[in-house]
Structure 1
Amino acid sequence: MTSTTLQLSEPYGPAACLRAGEGAPLVLIHGVGMQSAAWGPQIEAFAQTHEVIALDMPGHGGSAPLPEGTELPDYVAWLHAVLQALDLGPVSLAGHSMGALIAGGYAVSHPENAARVALLNGVFRRSADARAAVEVRAAEIRAGSFDLETPLARWFGNSPADQAARAQVGEWLSGVNLAGYAAAYTAFARGDSTYADGFAGIRCPLLALTGDGDPNSTPAMAQAMADAAPQGRAVVIEGHRHMVNLTAPAAVNAALQDWLDTEGATS
């Protein structure tokens, strides 16, 4: 595995990623507060057959933050700049949480560059109450309130696998750039419907996956995303929550393998 930094033009600056393997490109985008290493089980598995590129989202890991006031389309534009710099051609694109919002938006905006898209623990058309709650959390984060325990309690259960993953995720969250975290969380809070109407135009294979115990990225949302796309499929992993790629890697990797094996539309 190699750590690489791309020097993008303004306003983006450096973008960091982990690269491993050879073959057709598989690009991974993590969620708010995480970093590219959060895809560890997927990098290890799919580097056997693909060139895996796990990106650090803006303001996370080694990637420069976006300017203040950016919204989800700005993160989608950032991803386009990264993929143009990598010059990979059409890619298989997977995102988790905020990364799923970016990946979905990219498939809507740049369908020619998305061979397939996987949305793990994504949000889609929140209810008014859910949107209000996440907007409150975003405002608290922008004001400098950083609550580590609340998201960890929401994301993980009590199983040994959950507790091991919780310890690692807690380290990543503790070390996050607060300005980058606040900017990304604000875009995450406001972005659940930004590209929703465009899902009908996503012609490539779409996987929407979540855990049945994820209260915010719900199975109903996953099914709605899958139903909205012509080649959509929903997978719900039982007994798991928000960080399902870490707590149930075998099940998630099996679903991703099926997705990678799915042929795209011919017209």
Structure 2
Amino acid sequence: MIRLTAKSTPAGTSYLATGQGHPVVLIHGVGLNKEMWGGQIVGLAPHFQVIAYDMLGHGASPRPQAGTGLPGYAEQLRELLVHLQIEHASIIGFSMGGLVARAFALHHPQQLDGLVVLNSVFNRSSTQRAGVIERTRQAAEHGPDANAAEALSRWFSREYQAANPAQIAAIRQTLAGNDPQGYLTTYELFATQDMYRAEDLGSIQVPTLIATGELDPGSTPEMARQLAERIPGAQVAVLAEQRHMMPVESPRLVNQMLLNFLQQAQTLRNTAEGIVA
């Protein structure tokens, strides 16, 4: 078991870092925090330097200022990389973290050399958009715990929920413990920015993987395919029988997919730089 001590950047971003090698940064989803990545930290750290951090308004990081948009969340990541003296990194974003990763790819392309978007959203239908706007309204009225039970039923399989009640309870406690304003600011972006600068996605020129679960109702396989079509050379992976929280529910399966992609991207970088393994 890897036990890490959280550190903070000058701007207050809380992060964990371990391992050596090419840097890989993990960005969690709305309402969660860096602790969701425990399975990936264990699986990836023997091969890479792995950094997981708390998004603005989550965990031990500061609350976003009023009106902060996706560029502000991308800037938080840039500040973290500067603090760690990392010039280039592969970025893995889950759900809302996938939107942040996309924004970072567009605003700071010179610092990106690999992109993974997991279980994220793109081009919602009118029905899907209405549903997430309603959940935003509930969160504004009742706080972060307003739709936690419904969220957990979407995120995890019934079997996993039944087999891991303590973990499910802990995740619900994490959701309920979020700063209300920080959570709402982030959730509003998650609800409305799935098409953020969609017309510019063709400018992303790094190895890219878009992946989701076959049974993820909010981040569907069709969304993954549509997003990948906008990014030159992007790969698509749809993991059979997986739901939204597949990095937590099936870490070994997800880790193998990530390792395959990251090592493939590393080989491409080495080839481009004239490095022979």
1:4 aligned residue: 7
Runs of 4+ in 1 over 6 A off after TM superposition: none
Contact 1:90–1:115 (8 Å) recurs in 2: yes
Could you state the TM-score of these two structures normalised by the residue count of structure 2?
0.89
Map of 1:247-266 to 2, 5 A cutoff?
247-263=249-265, 264=268, 266=272
- Does the aligned pair in 1 maintain the 2:138–2:147 contact within 8 Å? no
Contact 1:27 1:92 in 2 (8 A): yes
> What residue number does 2:98 align with?
100
State yes or no: 1:118 paired with 2:120.
no
40, 43, 47: which is aligned to 1:42? 40
Taking the aligned partners of 1:162 and 1:103, their CA distance within structure 2 comes to: 32
Q: Deviations over 1:208-256 (max 9, x none)?
A: 1111111110001111122221120111111121101011111111110
RMSD: 1.8
Task: Return closer, same or farther for 1:110/1:163 CA change in 2, 3 Å cut-off.
Answer: farther
Task: Identify if the C-alpha distance between structure 1 residues 90 and 156 changes in structure 2 by more than 3 Å, giving closer, same or farther.
Answer: same
1:55 maps onto 2:57 in alignment: no
Structure 1 window deviating more from structure 2 (94-103 vs 179-188): it is: 179-188
Shift of 1:174: 2.6
Q: Map 1:72-111 to 2 at 5 A.
A: 72-111=70-109
CA change 1:166–1:213 in 2 (3 A) is: farther
Q: Please show how residues 172-251 of structure 1 align to structure 2 within 5 Å.
A: 172-251=174-253
* C-alpha separation in 1, matches of 2:19 and 2:158: 34
Question: 5+ unaligned residues in a row in structure 1: which ranges?
Answer: 9-13
Instruction: Tell me, yes or no, if structure 1 residue 138 matches structure 2 residue 141.
Output: no
Tell me how far 1:63 sits from its aligned partner.
0.1
Matched residue, 2:156? 156
SS where residue 28 of structure 1 aligns?
strand
Q: Percent identity?
A: 35
Q: TM-score, normalised by structure 1?
A: 0.92
Query: What residue identity is the alignment partner of 1:71?
Result: G
CA contact (8 A) 1:2 1:20 kept: no
CA distance in 2, matches of 1:196, 1:251: 30
Matched residues in 1 for 2:21 and 2:59: separation?
25
Which moves more between the two structures, 237-246 or 137-146?
137-146
Q: Quote the residue 2:16 is aligned against.
A: 18
Q: How many residues align?
A: 262
Is the Cα contact below 8 Å between 2:209 and 2:234 reproduced in 1? yes
Considering only CA atoms, is the larger Rg found in Structure 1 or Structure 2? 2
Q: 1:28 maps to what in 2? A: 26
Give the Cα–Cα distance (whole angstroms) in 2 for the partners of residues 66 and 82 of structure 1. 15
Is the 1:162–1:247 contact (alpha carbons within 8 Å) kept by the matching residues of 2?
no
Inter-CA distance 170–31: structure 2 relative to 1 (3 Å threshold): same
1:158 to partner: Cα distance: 1.3
Per-residue Cα deviation, 1:87-117 (whole angstroms, up to 9, x for no partner): 2011010010000100011112221111101
The C-alpha deviation readout for 1:94-151, integer Å capped at 9, x for no partner, is: 0100001000111122211111010010101111221222122112212234222111
How many angstroms does 1:2 deviate by?
2.9
Contact 1:32 1:97 in 2 (8 A): yes
- Report the equivalent of 1:11: none
Q: Secondary structure at the match of 2:158?
A: coil
- Corresponding letter in the other structure for 1:160: Y
Q: Distance in 2 between matches of 1:85 and 1:142?
A: 34
Aligned pair in 2 of structure 1 residues 67, 162: CA closer, same or farther (>3 Å)?
farther
* SS of residue paired to 1:48: coil
